[in-house]
Structure 1
Amino acid sequence: MRKLFVLSLSVVLAAMAIASPLRAADQPNVVILLSDDQRWDDYSFLGHEAIQTPNIDRLAKGSLVYERGYVPTSLCRPSLASLFTGQYPHQNGIVGNDPRENKRTNEGRQVLVERFMKNPRLAEILGKHGYVSFQSGKWWEGHNSSGGFTEGMSHGDVKKGGRHGDVGLTIGRKTMQPVIDFIDKSVEADKPFFLWYAPMMPHLPHNPPEHILKKYTAEGRSINVAKYYAMCDWWDETCGVVLDHLDKKKVADNTIVIYLCDNGWIQRSDEGGGAVGGPRGKRSVYDGGTRTPIMIRWPGHVKPRTDKTDLASSIDVVPTILDAVGIETDYHFPGVNLLDRAEVTSRKAIFGEIYAHDIPNYHHPELGLFYRWVIDGEWKLIVPTGQEEGEYGPMKPALFHVGSDPEEEKNVIADHPEIAEKLQKELDAWWNPKT
């Protein structure tokens, strides 16, 4: 009789749990801190000789840090779309910043937004499982609701300045209040939350506060370089505001914080960087454009350590988050769970693709494709399509040993044709636009 009572009681309690709204204590919060246009090692914790990033250093100290992290493509919009959907650009259709036709109209951009919305979207998935969410900073896909956010800053209306974030771009540079208010409201409502914090920093314009710029103004250092260094410092300062507020609200221990950058940047001394950030930075196929540290902090669940060997990709972020919070979906995500060491170490290689800035046809991504690349261990193969004129990568296939040649200066494909052939097969098995 006692067994029957216990069984009945457990059924009742389970039913009550299903019927009751999700409480914050039931699920960890999720925060993504997304840098914008920053070289992978422009942090003091990674040994930069001048840039000071004490808040990000503190985050790294408490995180699982993948020093060999990458984004599959080195341009803002497709990089963010791949991060948010867990799909490669050729899968989700967002392969450039703007449509080639009608690029400055709502009609032209809406076609891409509608394509984006056919993909799995992180905020929408979390929302279906009780999360509230907030978009701030960079956001290319129209109104924030297109990502499934319950709240946000960006309206996406081209006629009102919408393109890549509009009102949302005030976050970090002009105010932190919307983010603070969202955290406060979520905690007060006892709801698990997802925060997308992606300010346009250290992205151009490089106009840091004077008190920060003074720290980096030095004899023999270009003012352009000093401004970029100060922007990295300013970005770090805003990250500190977010991290400190999680502590203040006593939710840091129940919050997964993920840090990465959308693409690299190489600051030239003679100019502000233009739209490229140096010939091997933003938009390039080289590590200066595609590499970023990827960090995951979850106190009590993720043991802090630095991984200098294994490969990580922004394509892994969505499956990592969903596995961590216990959400299963019917979507196929090509990435791995970065908290599962067996998955990470068993993966052979990571991949990427570089495109034209403007999208010729999202139905046929190969029409704007410049390069594909693959990294297996310490070997990196770059395969150009011949559609690009060489500004962002090599004109012919190139093989680099990034372990001994991190700046990818010596093409050794002639010395190791067997390695190039092996990597080419891996690359084609991943995605061959000709098949």
Structure 2
Amino acid sequence: MRLLVLAIALLSSAISGFAAPPNIVLIISDDAGYADFGFHGSKVMRTPHLDKLAEQSMRFEQAYVTAAVCGPSRAGLFTGRYQQRFGFEENNVPGYMSESCLPDDEMGLPLDQTTVADHMKTLGYRTALIGKWHQGNADRFHPLKRGFDEFYGFRGGARSYFALRDAEKLTRKEDRMERGFGEFTEPDRYATDVFADETIAFIERNRDVPFFVVLSFNAVHAPMQGEAEDLKQFPELSGKRKQLAAMTLAMDRGCGNVLKCLTKLGLEENTMVVFTNDNGGPSDSNASINTPLSGTKANHLEGGIRVPFLMRWPGVTPAGSVYPHPISTLDLLPTFVSAGGGDVASLKQIDGVDLHPHLTGNEEDRPHQTLYWKKESRGAIRDGDWKLLRFPDRPAELYDLRNDISEHNNLAEKYPDRVRAMYKQLFDWELTLDRPRWQLKRQYEGAAMKRMDDYRN
């Protein structure tokens, strides 16, 4: 059956203009700062392998996630749909920060949602998730039941980079390292290195078939735990910034090892590699920097939702090129399906678009005229280059992102008609959404507003 599916995928790819279905490697960093990469101008963080990837890739100047925190952002990416459409609003799951009549085990990516891994598996791909899941801890939400053939990682949202102690294994079961389903074994090395090595092993095992692998780092999410040898590389730094630099260096090394594996196996020319981040950096908790963007993780200023994004797709994305228009991680699912020979037109109720015609110049319009974000009473809408932010504790703000990427010049009073129109446009979109299945405790909503104010540029 798998051979039949693969044959169909090969035929479909040939018809659609691709020589063969490309392998796909999606690398996701966690809580990284927008400015904390060499390819975005950092002189402190050392990311030589990602910088080289950027030279070989198309870099996207305006790439967005669908949420300013990890779990919902990943839910949007995995489904190609605004996660609010199925009640997975901008609150992480499960856990102590949420308010819900549901027990923790009921919180997760709803089972009626089709994932990108489901689609790629149907197209004949061998699929894997390595690293952080954060889409539900209960067995029924497990990656192996959501389209992934292989899994090595942890079900929760954050964990130690070193082996858990026995007491931690009992109190934080979702953080235990797991191979496949139910085989729990703690790593004997630094987790970031282990995740990269597991990805390499998956690629080596599946070199002769199309593969789709998500390398889902928990780096550089707290806890701030750099590996000892990496910490020594930054004697000029201290505190969280030193830890962040070491953790970033390890993540870059892991990315470099994966990329070297593709070259060694002769797979580089038929493998699409995407690198991105799940939300903006939380500057207070991990010392990340989002400059020139204002804001941080957990708010809808650009620093919370605009992320680094590289795509190396041989034959499609010219090396060293820059894509100027807004895109969304919603677009990854249809783009991957299209590249794999699938029929994008058959994808129902998705919000993402196939980027291929936009990247080749066959489609000159923007992939998205309008993008939306929502978290309870907070919300944001980008229409063209205008962006409106709605808050629970102050009047709405309006920015012209073409001329004000740092969101310094609030134009709401100057253009009240535009504010009213965009406010109504945001509300009309909200009328199409499901009720949230859970919400953030009020104390954390207040903390998110304070973080926004404290970290405006």
Same fold (TM over 0.5): yes
Pairing of 1:296-335 with structure 2 (within 5 A): 296-307=311-322, 309-328=324-343, 329-335=346-352
Q: Secondary structure at the match of 1:134?
A: strand
Deviation at 1:90, TM superposition (A): 0.9
- Give the one of 191, 194, 199 matched to 1:179: 199
Judge conservation of contact 2:45–2:245 (CA < 8 Å) in 1.
yes
Distance 2:59 2:368 in 1: 19
- The residue that corresponds to 1:236 in the other structure is 252
Deviation at 1:65, TM superposition (A): 1.6
Pairing of 1:192-211 with structure 2 (within 5 A): 192-211=210-229
Judge conservation of contact 2:130–2:151 (CA < 8 Å) in 1.
yes
2:371 corresponds to 1:351: yes
Judge conservation of contact 1:144–1:153 (CA < 8 Å) in 2.
no
Deviation at 1:400, TM superposition (A): 1.8
Judge conservation of contact 1:40–1:293 (CA < 8 Å) in 2.
yes
Deviation at 1:118, TM superposition (A): 0.9
**Higher relative contact order, structure no. (Cα contacts within 8 Å, ≥ 6 residues apart):** 2
2:376 corresponds to 1:374: no
For the structure 1 residues 373 and 305, does the alpha-carbon distance in structure 2 shift closer, same or farther, using more than 3 Å as the test?
A: farther
- Give the one of 343, 349, 353 matched to 1:336: 353
After superposing the two structures, state which structure 1 stretch, 128-137 or 17-26, moved more: 17-26
Q: Structure 1 length as normaliser, TM-score?
A: 0.79
- The residue that corresponds to 1:76 in the other structure is 70
**Deviation string for 1:49-102 (max 9, x for gaps)?**
322211111111122221111101111111111101101121133222125799
- The residue that corresponds to 1:359 in the other structure is none
Judge conservation of contact 1:140–1:164 (CA < 8 Å) in 2.
no
The number of equivalent residue pairs is: 388
Distance 1:333 1:421 in 2: 28
Deviation at 1:178, TM superposition (A): 2.0
Q: Secondary structure at the match of 2:414?
A: coil
- The residue that corresponds to 2:239 in the other structure is 223
Distance 1:103 1:376 in 2: 31
Judge conservation of contact 2:195–2:217 (CA < 8 Å) in 1.
no
Judge conservation of contact 2:76–2:330 (CA < 8 Å) in 1.
yes
Judge conservation of contact 1:71–1:352 (CA < 8 Å) in 2.
no
- The residue that corresponds to 1:31 in the other structure is 25
Deviation at 1:234, TM superposition (A): 2.0
Judge conservation of contact 1:28–1:192 (CA < 8 Å) in 2.
yes
- The residue that corresponds to 1:253 in the other structure is 269
**Deviation string for 1:180-228 (max 9, x for gaps)?**
22111101xx21111110110111122222333333332xx55222222
For the structure 1 residues 204 and 343, does the alpha-carbon distance in structure 2 shift closer, same or farther, using more than 3 Å as the test?
A: farther
Judge conservation of contact 1:155–1:162 (CA < 8 Å) in 2.
no
Distance 2:422 2:34 in 1: 24
**Deviation string for 1:241-292 (max 9, x for gaps)?**
1111111111111111111100111434xx6569xxx993111111111111
Distance 1:344 1:112 in 2: 40
Distance 1:31 1:375 in 2: 29
Distance 2:176 2:216 in 1: 10
Distance 1:206 1:145 in 2: 29
2:68 corresponds to 1:52: no
The one-letter code of the counterpart of 1:378 is D
**Deviation string for 1:310-340 (max 9, x for gaps)?**
1011111111111122212342321122222
Q: Secondary structure at the match of 2:117?
A: helix
For the structure 1 residues 318 and 272, does the alpha-carbon distance in structure 2 shift closer, same or farther, using more than 3 Å as the test?
A: closer
Q: Structure 2 length as normaliser, TM-score?
A: 0.75
For the structure 1 residues 92 and 305, does the alpha-carbon distance in structure 2 shift closer, same or farther, using more than 3 Å as the test?
A: farther
Once superposed, what is the RMSD of the aligned Cα atoms?
3.4
Deviation at 1:103, TM superposition (A): 7.2
2:304 corresponds to 1:289: yes
For the structure 1 residues 194 and 348, does the alpha-carbon distance in structure 2 shift closer, same or farther, using more than 3 Å as the test?
A: closer
Q: Which has the larger radius of gyration?
A: 1
For the structure 1 residues 410 and 217, does the alpha-carbon distance in structure 2 shift closer, same or farther, using more than 3 Å as the test?
A: farther
Deviation at 1:134, TM superposition (A): 1.1
Distance 1:199 1:84 in 2: 15
Judge conservation of contact 2:23–2:271 (CA < 8 Å) in 1.
yes
The alignment-based identity, stated in percent, is 26
Q: Secondary structure at the match of 2:27?
A: strand
Distance 2:29 2:368 in 1: 27
- The residue that corresponds to 1:11 in the other structure is none
**Deviation string for 1:371-422 (max 9, x for gaps)?**
22122343211122x2xxx6xxxx3211123343333233221122233234
Deviation at 1:424, TM superposition (A): 2.9
After superposing the two structures, state which structure 1 stretch, 229-238 or 19-28, moved more: 19-28
Distance 1:101 1:230 in 2: 29
